[in-house]
């Protein structure tokens, strides 16, 4: 995901400050992004330079002024073009599978420990995603269809973790039969 398009999408929903955008990225289940805060502000500057966003300075008593960014017609057009452009198939990179590929050199107990640790990590991620879903109802809901789509994004993420959990449990069960 490119940060610029995520920012354009968020600003198409509601005007926001850079700080508010940062908080959305930090708290969101859907808008995962591993960049640093400087990249948000650099992207805002570039988007403004390209005419895709604009800002209004809001003066506050007792606090520094803040810039509230909004998307321009050019930005909306660019966002729409990006949305309808075909994307590459998703990549599923799981370092755990590389570990598992060479796990035959582990003892029975070490392998069981490796699988247990991974299972616990996945369980924790699933719980975290469910909690975020329950808390995160502040998503764009300008229409019933938009609300449905955002809900289905959450369902997709949770089903991915659930599928991984089912898989690791299947591995554990089949290994137990092999090792009997």
Domain end marker among 56, 84, 112: 84
Neighbouring CB atoms inside 10 A of 28's CB total 17
Cα distance between the two ends of the chain = 46
Residues 102 and 154 in one domain: yes
Is residue 89 assigned to a domain? no
Residues 118 and 150 in one domain: yes
Q: What is the pLDDT of residues 38-90, one digit of tens each?
A: 888 999 999 999 999 999 999 888 888 899 999 999 999 999 999 898 677 77
Q: Which domain holds residue 142?
A: 95-178
pTM of the model: 0.72
Total of domains in the chain: 2
Residues 161 and 105 in one domain: yes
Residues 115 and 53 in one domain: no
Q: What is the pLDDT of residues 117-173, one digit of tens each?
A: 999 999 998 998 888 777 766 677 788 898 898 888 888 888 999 999 999 999 999
Burial class, 73, CB count within 10 angstroms (exposed 0-12 / middle 13-18 / buried 19+): exposed
Domain end marker among 54, 84, 114: 84
133-172 burial, b if ≥16 CB within 10 A, otherwise e? beebeebeeeeeeeeeebeebbeebbebbeebbeebeeee
Residues 79 and 102 in one domain: no
Residues 110 and 49 in one domain: no
């Amino acid at each position: 995901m490119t940060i610029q398009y995520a920012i354009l999408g968020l600003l198409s929903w509601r005007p926001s400050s850079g700080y508010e955008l940062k908080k959305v990225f930090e708290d969101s289940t859907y808008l995962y992004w591993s960049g640093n805060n400087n990249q948000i502000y650099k992207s805002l500057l570039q988007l403004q330079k390209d005419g895709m966003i604009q800002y209004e300075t809001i003066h506050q008593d007792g606090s520094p002024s803040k810039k509230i960014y909004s998307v321009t017609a050019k930005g909306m057009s660019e966002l729409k073009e990006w949305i309808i452009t075909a994307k590459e198939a998703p990549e599923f990179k799981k370092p755990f599978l590389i570990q598992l590929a060479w796990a035959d050199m582990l003892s029975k107990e070490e392998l069981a420990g490796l699988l247990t640790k991974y299972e616990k990590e996945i369980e924790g991620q699933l719980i975290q995603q469910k909690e975020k879903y329950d808390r995160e109802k502040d998503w764009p809901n300008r229409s019933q269809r938009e609300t449905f789509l955002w809900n289905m994004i959450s369902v997709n993420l949770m089903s991915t973790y659930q599928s991984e959990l089912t898989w690791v449990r299947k591995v554990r069960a089949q290994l137990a039969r092999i090792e009997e």
